[in-house]
């Protein structure tokens, strides 16, 4: 409680400069994800953020080494309360206070912590058990922030676009999912309104485009087709990019719940610079184009805002600082970085918005803006550590007892009985069988997609046929 006493004294002595309206300034920053085993140290990472001219940084936790490295940096900082703590914090003010005391107070105000996000995308289906604890936990953390007198720290929670049940292709129809609208989103909006905080959203035009590449033009998703417009038939508003449609869909959804003017904050956006062979549009050219256009849009003075909110400033964080080699899922997940893990840029980008595109080095032309057509296999990656192959193969073969029949004794692919061949067979067979239900060809980096048929003699490897 010593810290608490010091802060109460500070409050009494100097008063709290409570700002009423959320200062809505244009800030462009970067999400500093750490799911890689080859990333630069925090102190070097802070230097790299500054070199990129970021003005803010978002963490997915409150990592002490990173926060220490950020002391004195002038970067606005977002820290995050992990999802795992939400249930306990929701009913325990002592625990909320303890979290703020341990994760914010030691660094504040020398590290410029400005936002505390409670949880990450908690209203997505996957986190259903947490839904009804979210707002109570947000309120507890806000209470702690008040108790400690952190008057310039805003509290909120970032939500993914699956918060909406409507399509972002018709912004005026923006509607929150009915399973969360009344019970969770409305109380959240009421809290954000009362505390002058932001509605934090994670918006990826990339994923919208990937799901409908024949309906949405790529340039429109990349904010690169200023002349291509869509007029919303209900609102009459005219759009020239997909990100604005996503932002306004959220605006209209909030309006429906009675909160038309809560400011938005893009907690995350981005575009992958690479991915797997079966993924489209993930390349350096598109990533550079999208992120540069985002920087241009959100550093413009005066602000463009969105069609529903002309001229309004919006802060944004680009995901992510690095390509992160330990993110699970499809290849794109590991290729959102502005930087490679060795600290060099994947492409030129100046987050201050002061560098004109024409001065950047030329970009490699995209080769995967159209879907790959043909067969694909999933084989052991170069450099995969052999001692992990057995377990991965067992997993691949364990989902269905028919998957790996061919590499059992007597099977067509049993001989030669080599670990790497059998593992490649298991990966290919598993992926071919389960890709349509979401299986990926990754196995923690042990596997990679290939266009080269690994079949031999009478052993045919199952393929994915695109
Ligand atoms: C937008 O943010 C800039 C700082 O980036 C500030 O100077 C300006 O007043 C803000 N505009 C509005 C309308 O809030
Ligand atoms: C939450 O509280 C329960 C009961 O006090 C405890 O057993 C559990 O470990 C706590 N969970 C976390 C993630 O701290
Ligand atoms: C609340 O959290 C504090 C601090 O972690 C813990 O000591 C206490 O047991 C918790 N109270 C309840 C009712 O779980
Ligand atoms: C509007 O969104 C609802 C879902 O909230 C959907 O059922 C309806 O079809 C949409 N209307 C139009 C015109 O797209
Ligand atoms: C948009 O239209 C204007 C006028 O028709 C034209 O000069 C400009 O080159 C077009 N821009 C793009 C990016 O197509
Ligand atoms: C809060 O809600 C009231 C009533 O709708 C509105 O007048 C006010 O502008 C809102 N404030 C914010 C910050 O959204
Ligand atoms: C950094 O990593 C990238 C991607 O692996 C590589 O192309 C580049 O040559 C590396 N640069 C240096 C200086 O090591
Ligand atoms: C950051 O801004 C400075 C000053 O405007 C500029 O010289 C530098 O090139 C910018 N950094 C990047 C990575 O573009
Ligand atoms: C394979 O699995 C099915 C369904 O689980 C089971 O009925 C069958 O006996 C299994 N076959 C072998 C050879 O284990």
Per-residue model confidence as pLDDT tens digits over 309-323:
999 999 999 999 999
Residues designated as active site:
121, 268
Residue 339 CA to ligand 2 center (angstroms) comes to 37
Is ligand 4 within 6 A of the CB of residue 166? yes
Could you tell me the CA-to-CA distances from 217 to 208, 226, 281, 301 in Å, in that order?
A: 11, 12, 11, 27
Q: Whole-model pTM? A: 0.91
Residue 10 has pLDDT above 90, yes or no: no
Residue 408 has pLDDT above 90, yes or no: yes
CB 45 within 8 A of CB 64: no
For ligand 5, atom 12, name the residue with the nearest CA.
227
Could you tell me the CA-to-CA distances from 454 to 198, 382, 384, 417 in Å, in that order?
A: 52, 14, 17, 15
CB 59 within 8 A of CB 321: no
Q: Cis (ω within 30 of 0) for the bond into 320?
A: yes
Mean pLDDT rounded to a whole number for the chain:
94
Q: Is 156 exposed, middle or buried (0-12, 13-18, 19+ CB in 10 A)?
A: buried
Residue 159 CA to ligand 1 center (angstroms) comes to 25
Q: Which neighbouring-strand residues pair with 309? A: 306
CB 459 within 8 A of CB 413: yes
Structural domains in the chain, CATH included, are 15-359 (3.20.20.80), 375-465 (no CATH)
Residue 338 has pLDDT above 70, yes or no: yes
For ligand 8, atom 1, name the residue with the nearest CA.
53
Per-residue model confidence as pLDDT tens digits over 229-243:
999 999 999 999 999
Mutate to test the pocket of ligand 4, among 163, 172, 173, 233 (most ligand atoms within 8 A of CB): 173
If we measure between CA atoms, which residue out of 42, 122, 115, 39 comes closest to residue 82?
Answer: 122
If we measure between CA atoms, which residue out of 301, 329, 332 comes closest to residue 319?
Answer: 332
CB 160 within 8 A of CB 245: no
If we measure between CA atoms, which residue out of 175, 195, 77, 79 comes closest to residue 135?
Answer: 195
Confidence grade of residue 23 (pLDDT, cut at 50, 70, 90): low
Residue 251 has pLDDT above 90, yes or no: yes
Q: Retrieve residue 251's tokens.
A: 């605006």
Q: Is 382 exposed, middle or buried (0-12, 13-18, 19+ CB in 10 A)?
A: exposed
Q: Provide the pLDDT for residue 7.
A: 40
Of all ligands present, the nearest one to the C-alpha of 96 is: 3
Q: Provide the pLDDT for residue 5.
A: 43
């Amino acid at each position: 409680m010593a810290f608490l006493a010091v802060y109460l004294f500070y409050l009494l002595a100097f008063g709290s400069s409570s700002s009423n309206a959320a200062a809505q300034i244009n800030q462009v920053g970067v999400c500093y994800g750490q799911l890689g085993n080859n990333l630069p140290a925090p102190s070097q990472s802070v230097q790299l953020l500054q070199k990129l001219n970021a003005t803010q940084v978002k963490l997915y936790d409150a990592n002490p080494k990173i926060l220490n490295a950020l002391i004195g940096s002038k970067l606005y900082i977002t820290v995050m309360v992990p999802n795992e703590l939400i249930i306990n914090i929701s009913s325990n003010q002592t625990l909320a206070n303890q979290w703020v005391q341990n994760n914010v107070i030691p660094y504040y105000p020398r590290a410029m912590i400005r936002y505390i996000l409670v949880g990450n995308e908690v209203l997505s289906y996957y986190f259903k058990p947490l839904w009804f604890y979210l707002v109570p936990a947000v309120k507890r953390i806000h209470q702690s922030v008040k108790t400690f007198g952190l008057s310039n720290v805003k509290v909120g929670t970032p939500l993914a676009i699956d918060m909406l049940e409507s399509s972002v292709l018709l912004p005026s129809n923006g509607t929150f999912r009915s399973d969360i609208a009344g019970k969770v989103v409305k109380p959240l909006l009421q809290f954000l309104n009362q505390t002058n905080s932001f509605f934090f959203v994670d918006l990826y035009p990339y994923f919208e485009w990937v799901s409908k590449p024949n309906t949405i033009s790529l340039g429109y998703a990349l904010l690169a087709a200023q002349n291509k417009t869509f007029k919303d038939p209900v609102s009459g508003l005219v759009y020239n990019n997909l990100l604005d449609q996503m932002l306004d869909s959220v605006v209209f959804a909030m309006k429906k719940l009675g909160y038309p003017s809560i400011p938005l904050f893009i907690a995350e956006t981005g575009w992958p610079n690479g991915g797997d062979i079966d993924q489209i549009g993930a390349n350096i050219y598109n990533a550079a184009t999208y992120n540069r256009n985002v920087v241009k849009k959100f550093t413009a003075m005066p602000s463009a805002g969105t069609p529903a909110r002309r001229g309004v400033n919006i802060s944004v964080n680009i995901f992510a600082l690095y390509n992160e080699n330990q993110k699970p899922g499809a290849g794109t997940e590991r290729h959102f970085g502005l930087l490679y893990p060795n600290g060099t840029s994947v492409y030129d980008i100046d987050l201050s918005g002061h560098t004109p595109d024409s001065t950047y080095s030329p970009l490699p032309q995209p080769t995967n803006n159209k879907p790959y057509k043909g067969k694909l296999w999933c084989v052991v990656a170069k450099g995969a550590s052999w001692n992990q192959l057995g377990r991965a193969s067992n997993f691949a073969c364990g989902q269905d007892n028919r998957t790996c029949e061919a590499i059992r004794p007597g099977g067509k692919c049993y001989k030669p009985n080599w670990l790497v061949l059998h593992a490649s067979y298991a990966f290919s067979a598993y992926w071919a069988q389960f890709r349509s239900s979401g299986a990926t060809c990754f196995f923690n980096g042990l596997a990679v997609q290939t266009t080269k048929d690994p079949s031999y003699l009478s052993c045919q490897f199952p393929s994915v046929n695109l």
